[in-house]
Amino acid sequence: MTAHALMLQGTGSGVGKSLLAAGLCRLFAQEGWRVAPFKSQNMALNSFVTREGGEMGRAQVVQAQAAGLEPQVDMNPILIKPEADARSQIVVLGRPAFTVAAREYYQHTPELLKVAAAALERLRGRYDLVVIEGAGSPAEINLRQREIVNMRIARLAQAPVLLVGDIDKGGVFASLVGTLALLEPEERGLVKGFIINKFRGDLSILQPGLAMLEERTGLPVLGVVPYDRTLMLPEEDSVYLEAGRGDGAGLIDIAVIRFPRISNSTDFEPLQREPGVHLRYVSSLRELGDPKLIILPGTKSTMADLDFLRQSGLAQAIAAQAQGGARVLGICGGYQMLGERIEDPLRVESEAASAPGLGLLPVATRFEREKRTVQVQGLVAAEAGMLAGCRGLPVAGYEIHMGQTEGPSAAAAFRITQTPQGPADYDDGTLSADGRILGTYIHGLFDSAPFRQAFLAALGRQLPAGDDAPRDTHSLEEGFDRLAALLRQHLDMERLKAVCGLPQGGPARG
């Protein structure tokens, strides 16, 4: 049996397609449908590692979680990870395939379309409904013959398309009508309705515009979804990073360095939701201030972003603040930068054979051609400074890196005990002797509430008045349920199910 399909396309990037798709995945799953997400091609630096060790975009991971599924690379068969010098690494079915310049990428799209089509077909063979997400806008007329993520996928799947517009940006009616006008007749025939997203205000004031939109296009508006900033579900990529998020009155000021090629910024979303924490992203010396904790996050180009630190003056400032008592945490590429040197004899990342690190940890990194992608579980091995009170706590996450970092085993921060392949027994990360500098390869470290709260306590977090104890504020399940309820209330579900070809009574199981 081939699954039903529904595709969300947008008038542009950032209109909310990813979260709407996640909400629909949860909504249909709640009704008993076996539903899976799909996005043929995703350009993102926020990635995830599946149980099988495959790399995929975080947006489809979130959508899979909303559907109650284990993420799998068929849900995002092509991942584009921008690097330095206007080049991108292309990850195909979870594995790095090649690196190309932007202009050269489109030479590969005929073959990549076949990969995407096969992945979609496999999903449609296993589920009742596949919720497909497009990318950017389908009206990029210069890319029409080469794109493999919008209308070419809709035509391939013969999927009904809902066009999403973001009213919070302004000009939503012109965006919807203009997008429709630039589509080919066959493509317009696939568009079955509109969703207006991120609405604030009085719906009665909007009604004349909705009526005119329907009259002009002959297509229905299937819903107006309110803007709800309290959902706090993971964002798709670093384009959404804000200057500061969290409790502005918090006692712990955390500054995350916003590298030009920052990756896996989702590592810090659990911290943003904690009371007593003010987390902000900084990209200049002027913005750094005097934080309690400085975080060097992951990056797609360690060497290039290390040079950015030096050119901006941030490298010297971070070293000075570390000497003055500030804590510094490096994750993945940030961990590599904290060491004494980085070696790249195979020119994996750049033309430089080596570069000095910041010298804050007694480690050295050597880049290798093979990328390590694996889920991990383990325990905190150290007991000092930032990890005081954390020893023995379980941690879990995933590794995505090209380099191997070596240092004294006595300084190991974590002990990895399990991967999906079976028991493991090796060190991860390094904690300085005074406990103020910490590096690790574990992405998703702060998803664990017990570790996160012990870590913040070691930093001196004091909860606001009225909070008797730390609490887990990172409840994805609650967020998904609230998002599904929001969509159920504000979308015309009967018409939407009719568009998908789904029976109103729910799935029939034999």
User: Does residue 294 share a domain with residue 262?
Assistant: yes
- pLDDT of 507: 80
- pLDDT of 504: 77
User: Does residue 492 share a domain with residue 360?
Assistant: no
SS (H, E, C) 413-445: EEEEEEECCEEEEEEEEEECCCCCEEEECCECH
User: Does residue 224 share a domain with residue 262?
Assistant: no
Residues 31-49 pLDDT 10s: 999 999 999 999 988 899 9
Residues 60-89 pLDDT 10s: 999 999 999 999 999 999 999 988 777 899
User: Does residue 170 share a domain with residue 266?
Assistant: no
Termini Cα distance of the chain: 14
Q: Which helix (H) or strand (E) holds 59?
A: helix 58-66
* Contact call for residues 221 and 194 (beta carbons, < 8 A): yes
Looking at the DSSP bridge assignments, the partners of residue 437 are 328
Residue 123 has pLDDT above 90, yes or no: yes
Considering only 2-11, 172-181, 238-247, 349-358, which range has the smallest mean pLDDT? 238-247
User: Does residue 152 share a domain with residue 265?
Assistant: no
25 noted as active-site residue: no
Tell me how far apart the alpha carbons of residues 306 and 278 are, in angstroms, rounded to a whole number. 25
Neighbours of 88 (CB within 10 A): 19
Q: What are phi and psi of 336, to 5 degrees?
A: -60, -40
Q: Taking residues 406-429, report their average pLDDT.
A: 92
Q: Taking residues 423-448, report their average pLDDT.
A: 95
Q: How many CA atoms lie within 13 A of 274 on its CB side?
A: 32
Residue 510 counted as domain residue? no
Q: What is the CATH number of the domain that holds 343?
A: 3.40.50.880
* Contact call for residues 100 and 87 (beta carbons, < 8 A): yes
Residue 150 has pLDDT above 60, yes or no: yes
Q: Which residue is catalytic, options 25, 332, 390, 500?
A: 332
Q: What residue numbers bound the domain in which 132 lies?
A: 4-232+478-500
Residues 305-316 pLDDT 10s: 999 999 999 999
> Looking at the 3D structure of the chain, how many domains does it have?
2
Residue 338 has pLDDT above 60, yes or no: yes
Nearest C-alpha neighbor of 219 from the set 164, 171, 170: 164
* Contact call for residues 99 and 81 (beta carbons, < 8 A): no
* Contact call for residues 133 and 37 (beta carbons, < 8 A): yes
Percent of the chain residues past pLDDT 90, beyond the cut = 77
Q: Which residue is catalytic, options 443, 474, 490, 500?
A: 443
332 noted as active-site residue: yes
Q: Taking residues 482-503, report their average pLDDT.
A: 94
User: Does residue 194 share a domain with residue 55?
Assistant: yes
Torsion 386-391-394-399 (CA) sign? positive
Tell me how far apart the alpha carbons of residues 355 and 357 are, in angstroms, rounded to a whole number. 6
Residue 238 has pLDDT above 50, yes or no: no
The first and second tokens of residue 450, run together, are 């017990």
User: Does residue 113 share a domain with residue 63?
Assistant: yes
- pLDDT of 351: 80
Residues 442-459 pLDDT 10s: 999 999 999 999 999 999
Instruction: Write the CA distances from 236 to 15, 22, 213, 386, integer angstroms.
Output: 11, 11, 29, 29
Q: What is the CATH number of the domain that holds 206?
A: 3.40.50.300
pTM: 0.87
| Beta strands per DSSP E along 46-158 | 47-49, 55-57, 78-82, 87-92, 95-101, 129-133
* Contact call for residues 434 and 384 (beta carbons, < 8 A): yes
